[in-house]
Amino acid sequence: MVLVCEQRSYHWTSDTEMSQRTERRGIHVDQSELLCNKGCGYYGNAAWQGLCSKCWREEYQRARQKQIQEDWALAEKLQREEEAAYASIQGAQSQPQAQPQASLGTFSKFEEKKTNEKTRKVTTVKKFFSPSSRTASKKDNQEGKTPSPSISRQSSIETDRASRDFVDFLKTMQKPGREVHKHSRTFIESMANKKDLGADELSEYVQDFYQNMSERLMTHFKVSSENVERVMDEVEKYIMTRLYKSVFCPETSDDEKKDLATQKRIRALHWVDIQMLCVPVDEEIPEVSENVVKAITDVIEMDSKRVPRDKLACITRCSKHIFSAIKITKSEPASADDFLPTLIYIVLKANPPRLQSNIQYITRFCNPSRLMTGEDGYYFTNLCCAVAFIEKLDAQSLNLDPEDFERYMSGQASPRRPETDSSWPQVDPGPVVSSPALAKVYQNLELLSGLGGRQDRVLAAAQSLQSDLMTWQESVGQEVQEIMEKYPLEIRPPAPSAIDSDVENDLLPPPLTPQVFAG
């Protein structure tokens, strides 16, 4: 898909109704380029060489069938050559009938060994070029092994929930529901033996299952097309939740390598700002800034989802927040030419984790009808265009000098926006920043530094108070000691008294009053 850059102008109005017009380089993609190269009217995909899922499958199957025929022809040719070579060796090594019996016995053993070797080689060549040899060999190797860990492991909470929801949904369909559940479980069990297949082969198996299941529902059970879509959405959710760990970023693919390359590329482009991409978004407006943050959050959240449909939903929500931000900024509905540059800006600021793996996962295992039509397909196609643009971004795309572009990419320098060519408010005082978002960051950093100074002052006052308290405690203790030394406390022992003493006997109650008897 070709990305075309053209000169475009944006008109901004300040609070004082003063307007400025700046000439910048914009990003433009003809909407016809988003469609399938075959002209079928569906949305194309860069991963499918600009074709829609339907046309890509047809091309893939056609090429695969051609490759199989060529492999079989090569196998037969090798077999004939090997048979001819063996026949010539056998004729050259044949012995006269008059040789001793021992020689005949030795030759018989040699002939038997050679025959076995020939049979083994021919069989190996046929298996190598056979389209089903890979699957058959995997089955033979795994007959005596334990089940796949991904199937026999303890189901996660999300997997259990998906299974319960799937069963509850199918209960309303009775007989068709039982049929769908049976085939879905059988398919998941069969995929346990296909973990080592290539990513395209795994995708082919899943897409074949989708197609066969939908055709069976429409022809055998006479289910309406609308209900078939609902059933297939639930089938996709159930199957892909169960198979997620084995088919997402498989070891047989280079998805992880592409993820690292894309993340490195986006990190190197951290200096690209709104003005360079000609993004019609004013983040100084609170509602716009909120929509930008939500869009970044949604595109990052895509990696946490398991179902391709849920990942597409994150892309759709992100795109709708982008359209809202553009509409608020421009006070008019956003156009497609406004949407793509803003989506590129969001992807650069978000740097979503495993972006390439998520795009490939959606491409391979999503219900094909979602990618071919509708808003999900449109937004997903634009995301693929945005990633392709980021990978090919150069100095000309940003209207920069090639030397400056290389210095920015290497980190030797960073761009600075001229004050006379700016429609965004500057942070004053403070460093010159490349976007309103960074201006907000600098403002927050200034507030944090002020809070840090206040915290230091509070800590200093607390230490001073602690020192004063210790000094006061020592002074009070010293004064108490001086008083005790000046006025010592004297404790006198009580005077002894007799029990029958007449002192205060009148105050005693009658039972205790001493009685005097005459002698």
pLDDT tens per residue across span 268-293 = 999 999 999 999 999 999 999 999 99
- Residues 254 and 198: their CA atoms lie apart, in Å, by 10
In a shared domain, residues 237 and 262: no
Residue 192 located in a structural domain: yes
Instruction: Give dist(CA 455, CA 448) in Å, integer.
Output: 10
Q: How many CA atoms lie within 13 A of 385 on its CB side?
A: 29
| pLDDT: which is higher, 435 or 418 | 435
Residue where a domain stops, chosen among 393, 425, 456: 393
Average pLDDT value for residue range 47-74: 68
CB 388 within 8 A of CB 46: yes
The number of distinct structural domains making up the chain is 2
Same domain assignment for residues 371 and 265: yes
Report the C-alpha gap between 247 and 202 in whole angstroms.
7
Domain end residue (candidates: 246, 277, 294): 246
- Residues 238 and 317 grouped into a single domain: no
pLDDT range class, residue 80, cuts 50, 70, 90: confident
Structural domain includes residue 233 = yes
Residue 8: the pLDDT is: 37
In angstroms, the CA 309 to CA 462 distance is: 58
Cα first-last separation, the chain: 140
With respect to residue 493, please indicate whether it lies within any of the assigned structural domains.
no
Domain check: are 315 and 387 in the same one?
Answer: yes
For 337-368, what is each residue's pLDDT tens digit?
899 999 999 999 999 999 999 999 999 999 98
How wide is the angle at C-alpha 275 spanned by C-alphas 272 and 276, nearest 5°? 50
Predicted pLDDT of residue 54: 64
318 neighbors 292 (Cβ within 8 angstroms):
no
Residues of the domain holding 314? 254-393
Q: What per-residue string of b and e applies to 379-397 under the rule 16 or more CB within 10 Å gives b?
A: bbbbbbbbbebbeebeeeb
Using the 3D structure, point to which of 369, 393, 417 is the last residue of a domain. 393
Query: What is the tens place of the pLDDT at every residue in 370-392?
Result: 888 789 999 999 999 999 999 99
CATH of the domain at 163: 1.10.246.120
The reply to whether 194 and 266 lie within a common domain is no
Helix, strand, or coil (residue 478): helix
Q: Are residues 259 and 387 in the same domain?
A: yes
Same domain? 239 vs 347: no
Whether residue 259 is found in the same domain as residue 352: yes
- Exposed / middle / buried, residue 225 (Cβ in 10 Å: 0-12, 13-18, 19+): exposed
Do 199 and 258 belong to one domain? no
How far is 305 from 314, CA to CA, in rounded Å? 9
The domain that holds 383 is classified in CATH as: 1.20.1050.80
Span 208-227, mean pLDDT?
91
Distance CA 361, CA 10 (A): 37
pLDDT digits (tens, 9 = 90+) for 308-346: 999 999 999 999 999 999 999 999 988 888 999 999 999
312 located within any domain: yes
Q: Are residues 283 and 377 in the same domain?
A: yes
The per-residue pLDDT for range 90-132, each reduced to its tens digit, is 777 665 444 444 444 444 555 555 555 555 544 443 443 344 4
Q: Is residue 240 part of a domain?
A: yes
pLDDT of res. 43: 65
Domain assignment present for residue 134? The answer is no
Distance (Å, whole) CA 430 – CA 440: 11
Residue where the block lists tokens 């920043």? 433
Model confidence at 438: pLDDT above 80: no
For tokens 């800590």, name the residue: 459
- Mark whether 205 and 332 lie in a shared domain: no
Same domain, 326 and 291: yes
SS (H, E, C) 306-360: CCHHHHHHHHHHHHHHHHHHHHHHHCCCCCHHHHHHHHHHHHHHHCCCCHHHHHH
pTM across the whole model: 0.60
Cα distances from 500 to residues 5, 384, 493, 495, 515, in angstroms, run 124, 115, 21, 15, 9
Per-residue model confidence as pLDDT tens digits over 137-196: 444 444 444 444 444 444 578 888 999 999 999 998 888 899 999 999 999 999 988 878
| CA 470 from centre of chain | 58
CA 71 to chain CA centroid, nearest Å: 38
Q: Is the residue at 375 inside a domain?
A: yes
Domain-located, residue 313: yes
Q: What is the identity of the amino acid at 269?
A: L
Q: Are 82 and 121 in contact (CB under 8 A)?
A: yes
For the record, the structure tokens of 344 come out as 């590129």
